[in-house]
Amino acid sequence: MSNKNLDSADKYKKMALNLNLVGNYDKAIKYFKKSLEFNKDDFGVLINIAANYTVLKNYDNAVEYYDKALHIMPNDELAMSEKANVLFLQGDFKKAADQFDMVIKNNEDNKTALYNKGISLEKAGEFADAIYCFQLLIDKDNKYIDAYYSKARIEEKLGKTKEAINTYITIASLKEDDGDPYLRIASIYNRRCLYDKALIYIEKFLEVNPERVIGYVNKALILMSSKRYNEALEWINRAIKMKNDDPDIYTVKGSLYRKIAEYEEAIRWYDEAIKIDNNCFKAYVFKAEVLMKIKDYYKAAECYKFLIKNDKSKLYSSFAKAPYKLVLIYKKLGEYDRVKETGEKAIKYYEELICIAKENNEFEEIIKKIKEILNSL
């Protein structure tokens, strides 16, 4: 290659790197590509283009340029790892796991790649293989805490509660200043209605991390589950005293009053949560359910309309049911024109959700119910 070509390649590369420094990644790509016209095998330029495409969320092009870089330097660990990360971001978890495996074969001491392979396999639904990865990582480094947490998380998901608890206890023995393992054990026992055991472990959490408000809230939730409402109220009030700007805590207090059928008081505390954060969607959901309970349908409808307009999370089922609930309200009120209008909109809404979450049959059932309502008009 002539010196003239090298100078031209270098000139455009420097211009691109300066654009990177100010975050102008799109324009930088153009200059990096201009540099490649004079030096097509510049590994660093190819890597920069791939990285910029990743920042711009143009993942297909990012993979293409990582592949070009790897064609020049097949065993470059950074390029191999970054390609795997992009595949993960694309949602192609099985391919990401395979790519992380290539990194590991290239360097068996790369613990990050082994961990990320496990995470990718978990996302791909390959739970046994994911646990194997995390256990292999623990065997290599028995202080790799994230591997323990990930292993325990999958064990919980698979209903292997005994194994999960044992894993959390191991974490607690390794990190004596970390109360999270006790918090998670308490949650397991609470879900299994073993409230006395849940309380033992939430107390352990509070011994280790007395300054963390989540312990107070979780103790209140366990006491609520065991119908010890007065004690639960005491702990939730302590949580509010510690952190009076957290809408989720007020939402829990509202739910406590809802459990004991003090509905006006429940609504008051949901409203307090909404005052702190107008987008506290949980508070709107729970408030609407209470309003339905006391037959204040118009106010409930307002809550559901707010959720439909503002909540973008969609796939959380309690929020996603808002359009369906609105159809039911108008049916109860005998406002059949509104039933038809909201019902047709709701069907389109749920059809969109099915495209996003193909495995969720709940939305298909909701569409079926709405169509039955519309056909009955």
Q: Say what the pLDDT of residue 53 is.
A: 97
Half-sphere exposure of residue 87: CA atoms within 13 angstroms, side-chain side: 26
pTM of the model as a whole: 0.82
Identify which of 355, 37, 3, 4 has the alpha carbon closest to the alpha carbon of residue 13: 37
| Residue 11 pLDDT class (50, 70, 90 cuts) | very high
Contact call for residues 273 and 254 (beta carbons, < 8 A): yes
Phi, psi of 265 (to 5 degrees): -65, -40
Rounded distance between C-alpha atoms, residue 25 and residue 61, angstroms: 14
* Residue 319: partners with Cβ closer than 8 Å, 6 or more residues away: 281, 285, 307, 311, 313
Burial 226-248 (b: 16+ CB within 10 A, else e): bebbeebbebbeebbeeeeebbb
Q: Report the percentage of the chain scoring pLDDT > 70.
A: 95
> What domains can you pick out in the chain, each with its CATH number?
245-308 (1.25.40.10), 312-377 (1.20.58)
Identify which of 319, 343, 346 has the alpha carbon closest to the alpha carbon of residue 330: 343
**Residue 75, SS3 per DSSP:** coil
Rounded distance between C-alpha atoms, residue 321 and residue 68, angstroms: 46
In this structure, how many other beta carbons lie within 10 angstroms of the beta carbon of residue 277? Answer: 16
Residue 262 gets which letter from DSSP?
-
| Residue 352 pLDDT class (50, 70, 90 cuts) | confident
Contact call for residues 233 and 256 (beta carbons, < 8 A): yes
* Residue 179: partners with Cβ closer than 8 Å, 6 or more residues away: 204, 205, 206, 207, 208, 209, 212, 215
Q: pLDDT (tens digit, 9 = 90+) per residue, 102-127?
A: 999 999 999 999 999 999 999 999 99
Contact call for residues 69 and 43 (beta carbons, < 8 A): yes
Which has the higher per-residue pLDDT, 314 or 101? 101
Per-residue pLDDT averaged across 151-167, rounded? 97
Which has the higher per-residue pLDDT, 7 or 89? 89
Rounded distance between C-alpha atoms, residue 27 and residue 204, angstroms: 55
For the chain, strand residue ranges (E) read none
